[in-house]
Amino acid sequence: MTYPEIGNYGINSIDVEHEVPALSGFVVRELSRIYSNYRAEGGLSDYLQKHGIPGISGIDTRALVRRIRTTGALRGVLSVTDLDDQSLVEKAKAAPGLVGRDLVREVMSREVVGWDQRLDDWTNAEIGKQAIESSARHVVCIDFGMKWNIPRHFASRGNRVTIVPGDSTADDVLRLEPDGVFLSNGPGDPEPLDYAHQTIRGLLGKTPIFGICLGHQLLSLACGAKTFKLKFGHRGVNQPVLDLQTGRVEITTQNHGFAVEEDSLPDCLEVTHRNLNDDTVAGIRHREENAFGVQYHPEAASGPHDSHYLFSRFQERLGSGIKA
């Protein structure tokens, strides 16, 4: 984290976005000695210890980020037992890289579950809470490591929501009779996830599809595009993206280390959004089928909220044959 002091808010269960924090270590400049937010239920250090995650403070994190911005993403190691410099360097060198690894199976849900939790009025009052009727549209979310604020958006729009594991087949999904399928965010390299590519190919043309982040990359791969590892990933809540259809610039939340290779896009895919920092592809749509995706997080809890319209755009297409 590049902000100089971390932990003064504390931890609360209301803002949790997944069952467990999906990280291997946490690095900060200074850990706040107290937490004082009125909703806090505990401290950051206790939270990390509870989940077995090592953390370290006293690091010049901004200098570290400048190093990464020059050399590219680097492997690192945290240890509470081994303090020998050479040994730690060897451990870092031996650590597996991201390319070619399937990290989704480590974080995805393991069973089919219904979801009915909605957005809190204090965070997104403009959406409100629509009643979920028996005739409600059914959104099936394929979970590759999904943030919980995503199904909250779907439920708050009056949809019935079902979450399925990331390795579900197209037949598994279609048996649930979805009015639309959502492809979630998730960690790591999208190319080795052959099971997801096959599932998406089996769903194209049979139901509207909306993907974000990893889901956007998987949709692109399923259609014949390629992806590549960024020198340094897009991280943070201030990434500018241009909507090529409207000319509007959105400030977005992003957190990924891979991107879709524009030169590899097949004729069936069209670029709809572009990252203004490095001109990479930030959104695509299928020219023939009802499917689209973006490389960022429109659900952004706690913000920014510029991209909420994408959920409304998907909502309009649920159960319809309208092109994305």
DSSP 14: G
Sign of CA dihedral 186, 191, 195, 196: positive
Q: CA 23, CA 51: separation in Å to the nearest integer? A: 10
| 44 φ, ψ (degrees, to nearest 5) | -65, -45
Torsion of CA 180, 186, 188, 190, to 10 degrees: 0
> How far are the Cα atoms of 24, 110, 179, 262 from residue 267, in angstroms, in the given order?
39, 36, 26, 11
Local structure of 142: helix, strand or coil: strand
Local structure of 115: helix, strand or coil: strand
Across 207-219, b (16+ Cβ under 10 Å) vs e yields bbbbbbbbbbbbb
Q: Do 203 and 230 form a contact (C-beta atoms < 8 A)?
A: no
Active site residues: 213, 297, 299
Q: CA 285, CA 294: separation in Å to the nearest integer? A: 9
Q: What string of DSSP letters covers 81-102?
A: S---HHHHHHHHHHS--STT--
